Each structure stands twice: as C-alpha cells, then as structure tokens.
Structure 1
Amino acid sequence: MSAPENHTDAAAEQGTSIHPRSVLGRLPRYAAGKPPVVIEGLESYKLSSNENPLPPLPAVLEAIAQQTAINRYPDPMTTTLRSELADFLGVPAEDIVTGAGSLGALNQVLAAFAGQNEFEAPDEVIYPWRSFEAYPICVGLAGAKSVQVPLLPDATHDLDGMAAAITDRTRVILLCTPNNPTGPALTERQVRDFLARVPSHVVVILDEAYLEFVRNPEAVEGLQLYRDYPNVIVLRTFSKAHGLAGLRVGYSISQPALTQHLRVSATPFAVSQVAEHAAVTSLRHIGEVRERVQSIVDERTRVVDGLREFGWAIPEAEGNFVWLSLGENTPEFAALAEQQALSVRAFGTEGIRVSIGEAEANSRFLALCATYTKGPGVS
C-alpha cells in the first residue's frame, strides 16, 4: 500500500497556480479602526471607528431579544422597514432599496451602473479624495475605474474639479456629505449647481451616512434633490445615529427608473429579520434617537471649541468626528494617543480622524491636544 499523499503539500503546490482577479493586487486594503491598547490605571476608549458610543435604545434591545425565528430567511423585500421608512421620510416605499449598511447599498448601485462592459473600456466613477476609504475598493471590485479628485485645502469637495473630470466613460459620481474623514458638508446650492453640470445619464450618489449630525442650516438634504433629479441616489444608514452598526442596515432612495435596476443588483436577504425589527423599533422611537444624537453633537461642539481654543485649525465638523490635518506628525500623535489608552484613526502621513466618544474619552483627547505643540495651525 502506497504512502498517503501529503494533502498539505499538494494544496500548497496547487495554490501557486490559483490567482485572483488582477484587480485585487491594485486595490488598497480596508483598514478598520483598531481597538485601544490596555494601559494600567486608565480606562480604554475606541475613537478610531465612527461608531455611536451609546448602545441601542432599550426598546431596540428588547426587540432584538424577541427575535427567535432566525432559522427562517428574512423578508427579501424588507417590507416592514421600507413601509416604516416611507412614512417617516414621506417617500414611496417603492423608491427605497435596502442593503447591508449604506456600504451594501453602495455596492448594489455600482453593480447596477458601473463596471466592465463587453469589449469596452471600464466605466469611470468619480469621487473626492480623501474620502471614505471603501470607495476605491468598491469601485475596483465592480470592475470600474476610480477617478479621484483631490479635496480643496479646506478639506471640502472640489466640485469644479469633479465636473471637469467627467468624460464619456463616466457613469457614477460619489458625493460624501459630510465627508468622511474630513467633516465638511456640502450645501444645497453647491450640489444643485454641480448637478446642472452633470449629464443626465450619469448617476450621482449622495452618501449621507452622517446626515443626522449635521447642524449647518445650508447643508444639502438629499430627499429634495432625489425628487428633483431622476439621476440622484441618496444613501443612508442606521449604523451611526441609531447605533446599529453591528446589524448592518442601510438603504438607498431613488426614482423608479433607477430602483428597477437596483432591485436586480440587490443582494438577496441582505438585511436580517433581527436587523429589520431593530431598525423599525428605532424609527418608532425617533425622539429618543434624536436626543442621543444631540448629546453627541454637544460633545462634538465641546471638542471643536476646545481644539480651536488651543489654536488648532480644523475643518468644519458636521459628522460624529473631527479631522486633524497633522501631516508627517500623524504617526507621532497616534502613538501618544495610544499611550493615553485612546485609539484614533491615522491615515498615513495625512492626518487623524477622531470619533466623538464618551465624555471622559473626549476630555482625555482634549487634554492630550492641549499639550501637543505640533497641532495643525499651532505656531
């Protein structure tokens, strides 16, 4: 009887001939916010992911606990949630397509409208940069080409540059408002002027993941634009304001000419019944959600005011985070924050995004900034 084949060695040899799509080698790796290190004598806080520091509402936790039929598939149309959202937003339920977070909804849009077509050059997707780091990954995996337009010096979208970047290959344009990770929000006037320069066959996505935290009265609010422009798609999520990041509930809103295609590209059963019931319950307690959001906005105001008192120059902060344009000092500051049991999100040598967390975490962050002499704008 011959010796048994060494399957480990055989698999290793075979593995050398198995290659992924070439695009994978060209895509950046998504870097999630790291957890804080443990420092003796200090409570650790995670400020590296734009999470709501508050747990879901008690009624939402109860609704989650009552869901026991997880042996059954969820409603693929998420009918109850879409009906609840329709009433809440004042839009037809048919105009809403749910997804696994706003990122899942984005992937559905890209799958429907941008990619590699037969015997043709890939479609182009324009978006600001720096912005949400998942954008280049999603665009690349869809088979489309990223066209990144650098932000202006004040960390806002260069809408003139984005309009100039439109070609006959452009199929989708992404606007992130407020922009993650830098913070500023677009105004309605800015977006309407921009849309006037965009061909009607190009899909324009308004990514409004942080809409509930916006307090600028002139900021764009996507619902009216979706009503006025057939090529506009609005993305929203329950991850931030509602504190349901771990359940992955998001959705897009667009007119029927677009939703008919999004229903084809939608991932089946993307939203679980547990997630759907949690989102519905949270919507039904929207007053309490808004109170919690306001408490985070109040903390954001305290952090922003504190930084500016120290002489730090920071962009307008309309999300649940602040942006520190630290440049080459980025790694140093991130290390100092780690020594204070605070995890922050460093972006190479560009800057650091710090999420608004618990009051004690925010106070410790401000104390660190008060002693740091290399902050942006500090002379």
Structure 2
Amino acid sequence: MASRDTLAEAVTALPRAVDPMALSLNEFPFPPLPAVRTALAASLDCLNRYPEFLPHRLRSLIAGRLGADPEQVVIGAGATGVLMQVLGAVTSPGDTIVMSSPTFDGYPILADMARLRPVAVPLDAHGHHDLDAMADAAAQARVVVVCRPHNPTGTVESVADVERFLTRVGRDTVVLLDEAYVEFLAPEYRIDANALVRRFGNVVVVRTFSKAYGLAGLRVGYGFCAPALGRTLWTMQLPFGTSLAALVAVAASFDADSQLRQRVRSISAERRRLQMRLRALGAYTTDAHANFVYLPSGVTSWPEVFDGTGLQVRHYAGGGVRITVGSRASTRAVVHAVAAAMG
C-alpha cells in the first residue's frame, strides 16, 4: 500500500505538459513532437543498460548537423551543464567572470559554484548589452558572457557589434556566446557561428534542446568552438552523463525539422501578438526575439500586477518581469491581468 501511495505521489508531482499559467521558465508550451515521443518509447526497453561512457554518437550527430568536426563539440546536461563544463575547464577559483545585469539566473549561481568573482555590467535602458563596458571589464577577466538573444530581455546585438566586441577581448579570455534561443531568431539576425569560431578561437557557442526543441525534461545541451579549445573542454566531459534517451530524442528532432520550425513560427507569431497587445495597453516591452517578452521596471510594479492572478512569471530585482510566450489562452490571461492593472 505504501508503495502504491508513493508512486501516486510521484506521478502527481509531474508537471502538466500543457499549462497556460506556467510562464516563468521559457519552456515550450506543447508536448514533444509525435516522432520524438515514438523514439523515446523505443528507448525504454534498454534503460537497464548504461549509455556510452562518453557521448561520442551524440557529439557526432550534432557536429554533422552543424557542419563541424566532432572534436569541436561538447555535450552537457542542458546549457547549464555545458557552462559548468567550460568553467571547470578554463577557470580557477578567484578568476573573474563578466556578465550583464540582469542576466540568466544560472550565471551568478555557476560563478559561485566555481568560486569566481562576478562582475555585472548593467544593460542599457532598452535591454541591450553595453558591449563597450563589457569589453573594458573583460580586460581583467577569464570568462565573459554574451547572451544572444539576451535573457531576460530578448534583445539582439548586431553581428557587427558582436564581432567588434570580440576583436577587443583578449584571446586568453573565453567568451561564452549563449544562443539558447537562437532557433527563434529570424534569418537576418543569425550569426554564422561556424565562421565565428574559426575566426575567434576563444569563443564557445552554447545551445540547448530545452527551448525550441521542447526537451527541457531530458537536459541536453551542447557547446561548440575551435578544435583546440574543444579538446580542452572534452577533458571535463562527465562519464555516463548523457542518457540513452537523449541520443534518440535529438535524432528524431532533427528528422522532424519541418514540424519543429512550424512550432517555432507559431510561438514567434504569438510573441508578436502578445507584444502588440501589451503595447496597445501602454505597457513598454523590450524588442524581444525569443519565446518570451520582458516588461522592465518603471512606474508599474509588474510583480504586483501578476500576484494573485495564478500566472507564474519570472520576477526581477527592481520590478521587471519576464513572461514566457505560451498558447493563445496564456496570451489572453496575461493581457487581462495587465489591462486590469492599467485601468
């Protein structure tokens, strides 16, 4: 009886695949694609077996997709796993890491875990990086982080500005180019990442299958960089650290590329709709290019607007909020809450 109760509690604790109120973690709002679910089901019967000691097959699969050499790729438990790998490979306690403020929540946490000294450079008034100030700060840093699109504002720095920034950063400083939301970028905003890592041997491009691919629960991320740096990062690859399910889920996702791109287009259209509705109400939002919108702090205390509504949004110091784009029902709930607050 106790065993059944324990199982029931565990099942009850599972999150709902579709929840129009869950808008705080930038998850994809739909269950995995049918082909991915089929592939995952096929992996269940071999869960008594270990995965590869090191994820060579997944590494080669992703490298082939990128048009890169496998030794340029590292695999992690989501983007955060890759980031921790990089910090473990290239930093020592007491080194400096430069990041924006605000930024992805994980960076201050990972910096603390690696015993690094964080230097935070404020974003400008429109939610963009101050790349000149970050380049100045990077002169004394071992690692510097640039998110593109930025988390939490969703803004995008131009390719020319990013390249100008990289020319100012010393080659002994590792630059983490966080592209967790790259799949949501329109083609004209994308960087040729392969060309970038060929030109700048100190850049690590970090991506994830948690956002556009909708596989957050599987924890699969990757980084790619110049071969020499890739070999260094591979020394920190965790043995047996990548699940059997990860390989088949990623392969199935690549095979279902057209369906995935359709889902991304749907979310991007819903983001534009939400931005338009919020701006029509007089609420300023940054120029976001991901699967979320950002309402910066100002005369309105946004956390108070959403308190008591049941909507789960991400709060930031000073009163800003980040809102994941979900279904049409999610959009209606957000607009209703803002309209009620703004009278």
Per the normalisation by structure 2, the TM-score is: 0.90
Do 2:53 and 2:240's aligned partners in 1 also have CA atoms closer than 8 Å?
yes
Which residue is equivalent to 1:287? Answer: 258
Which residue is equivalent to 2:11? Answer: none
Gaps of 5+ in 2: 1-14
Give the distance between the partners of 1:81 and 1:281, measured in 2 at CA: 12
What pairs with 1:178-327 in structure 2 (closer than 5 Å)? 178-215=149-186, 217-327=188-298
Q: Which amino acid aligns with 1:106?
A: L
What displacement does 1:230 show?
0.7
Which residue is equivalent to 2:98? Answer: 126
Q: Which amino acid aligns with 2:22?
A: K
Do 2:54 and 2:241's aligned partners in 1 also have CA atoms closer than 8 Å?
no
Gaps of 5+ in 1: 1-34, 37-42, 117-121, 375-379
Give the distance between the partners of 2:46 and 2:139, measured in 1 at CA: 50
Give the distance between the partners of 2:63 and 2:187, measured in 1 at CA: 25
2:53 matched to 1:76? yes
Give the distance between the partners of 1:333 and 1:367, measured in 2 at CA: 10
**Which of 125, 138, 146 is residue 153 of structure 1 equivalent to?**
125
Give the distance between the partners of 1:95 and 1:267, measured in 2 at CA: 16
Per the normalisation by structure 1, the TM-score is: 0.82
For each residue in 1:271-312, what CA deviation from the matched residue of structure 2 results, as whole angstroms up to 9, or x when unmatched? 101122111111111111111111100101111111122222
Q: Which amino acid aligns with 1:174?
A: V
What displacement does 1:369 show?
2.0
Which residue is equivalent to 1:60? Answer: 36
**Which of 7, 14, 21 is residue 45 of structure 1 equivalent to?**
21
Do 1:48 and 1:353's aligned partners in 2 also have CA atoms closer than 8 Å?
yes
What pairs with 1:162-181 in structure 2 (closer than 5 Å)? 162-168=134-140, 170-181=141-152
Higher-Rg structure is 1
For each residue in 1:155-185, what CA deviation from the matched residue of structure 2 results, as whole angstroms up to 9, or x when unmatched? 11010111111334x1111111111111101
Do 1:186 and 1:220's aligned partners in 2 also have CA atoms closer than 8 Å?
no
Give the distance between the partners of 2:303 and 2:52, measured in 1 at CA: 46
Give the distance between the partners of 2:60 and 2:257, measured in 1 at CA: 16
Partner SS for 2:315 = strand
2:319 matched to 1:350? yes
Do 1:186 and 1:219's aligned partners in 2 also have CA atoms closer than 8 Å?
no
Give the distance between the partners of 2:52 and 2:338, measured in 1 at CA: 48
The percent of aligned pairs where both chains have the same amino acid is 40
Which residue is equivalent to 2:335? Answer: 366
Do 1:299 and 1:359's aligned partners in 2 also have CA atoms closer than 8 Å?
yes
Do 1:183 and 1:321's aligned partners in 2 also have CA atoms closer than 8 Å?
yes
Give the distance between the partners of 2:69 and 2:117, measured in 1 at CA: 33
Give the distance between the partners of 2:143 and 2:82, measured in 1 at CA: 14
Give the distance between the partners of 2:69 and 2:20, measured in 1 at CA: 44
Which residue is equivalent to 2:3? Answer: none
Which residue is equivalent to 2:116? Answer: 144
Q: How many residues align?
A: 325
